[in-house]
Amino acid sequence: MTLFALNGVTLTVPGRRLIDGLTLEITQGAVTALVGRNGSSKSTLLKLIAGQLRPDAGTIAHAGRPLPDWAPRELARSIAYLPQVTPPAEGMRLAELVALGRYPWRGALGRFRPEDHAAVEGAMDRCGLRPFADRLVDTLSGGERQRGWIAMMLAQGARTLLLDEPTSALDVAHQVEVLGLVQDMCRQTGLSAVIVLHDVNMAARFCDRVVALDAGRLALQGPITELMTPAALARVYGLPMQVQAQGGKGGGRLFALPE
């Protein structure tokens, strides 16, 4: 089943073509890593499939329907998107932030129902945030705050999570924590996720599939193992890298090291 189908998608800003005739498919029920060099338009692609940007040419379909056919709130019930830099949530408690995730279901005026409260509580439990429910968001540590925003995405009840470099400001322990959380959710409840990642090894550990971009064009797509070869890494990053396996043959994990 295809989660996203892109056909000839092009996006140009004055003086630069960010996305250049991109045609690809993203599979449902998997964690897909979106990788590439700086300036390869990874974030732009994520914004395009999230409906945050409109392409100049080409079509993007989500679950078989073109994005422009989705009403804004209908799309938000199906796709949750986390921007690269989360905005300051002035004066907001964590539980209130997570509750914003119910907006797509209730709109500007609809009354909160028991299932909304259940979704908010469930999302906070899922992310281990129960003890922080009454804390102000802006007083939380970076990792807690990031989990809070992911809890908001869960409360949104969307089946697809789009995350733009969710780990860029976190130390390695919190990176593992956040990505592990996303991976678990996808494994256990059948969600799909597309994550923009810089770290190849994190991608190899937590993702099932990969889409690699090079200057707005498709460089590679397929299972994550296809990325973890010296030839593929050299093509995507333009840097010779070694790949080593650890933890036994066959089931071992692959590591990439710059030479």
Partner 1 sequence: MRLLLPAVLLALALWTFAALAALPFADWPALPWHPAQMETGQILLAFGLMPRGAVALLAGGCLGLAGALMQAVLRNPLADPTTLGTASGAQLALVAATIFAPGLLAGGALPVALAGAAAVTLPVLALGARRGFAPVTVTISGMLAGMLCAAVATALTLAQGHYLLSLVIWNGGALTQQDWSGPGHLALALAAGLMLTALLARPLMVLSLGAEGARGLGLGLAPLRLGTILIAVCLSALVSAEVGLVGFVGLAAPAIARSLGARTMRARLLLAPLAGALLLSLADGALLALAAMGGPSLPTGALTGLIGGPLLLWLLPRMAAHVPHRAEAGDRLSRRARRPGLVLAVLAALVLALSALTLFGGRGPDGWGLIAPELRATFLPLRATSILAALSAGALLAGSGALLQRLTANPMAAPEVLGVTGGAALGYAAAIFLFPASGPLALALCTAAGGALALAALSAHAMRADLAPARLLLAGLAIGALASAVLGAIMASDDRRAWVILGWLAGSATNVTPAGAAALAGLALALLAALLASARWLEILPLGPGVGRALGLPMAQARLGLILLAGLATGAATLLVGPVSFVGLMAPQIARSLGLVRALPFVAGTWLIGALLMVLAAFGARTATFPYDLPLGLVATLVGAPWLFLTLMKRTAA
Where does this chain bind partner 1 (CB under 8 A)? 50-52, 71-77, 79-83, 86-92, 96, 100-101, 103-104, 107-109, 136, 138-139, 156
Other CB atoms within a 10 A radius of the CB of residue 151 amount to 27
Sequence letter at residue 42: K
| Closer residue to partner 1 (CB): 60 or 80 | 80
Q: Is residue 48 within 8 Å of residue 8, measured between CB atoms? A: no
| Closer residue to partner 1 (CB): 50 or 232 | 50
Residue 112 Cβ, how far from partner 1 at the closest point, in Å? 11
| Closer residue to partner 1 (CB): 1 or 109 | 109
Residue 140 Cβ, how far from partner 1 at the closest point, in Å? 12
The rounded distance, in Å, linking the Cα atoms of 101 and 14 is: 35
Q: Which two tokens stand for residue 251?
A: 């089931």
Residue 72 Cβ, how far from partner 1 at the closest point, in Å? 4
| Closer residue to partner 1 (CB): 77 or 174 | 77
Helix (H) or strand (E) holding 235: helix 230-237
Helix (H) or strand (E) holding 137: none
Q: Is residue 43 within 8 Å of residue 194, measured between CB atoms? A: no
Residue 81 Cβ, how far from partner 1 at the closest point, in Å? 4
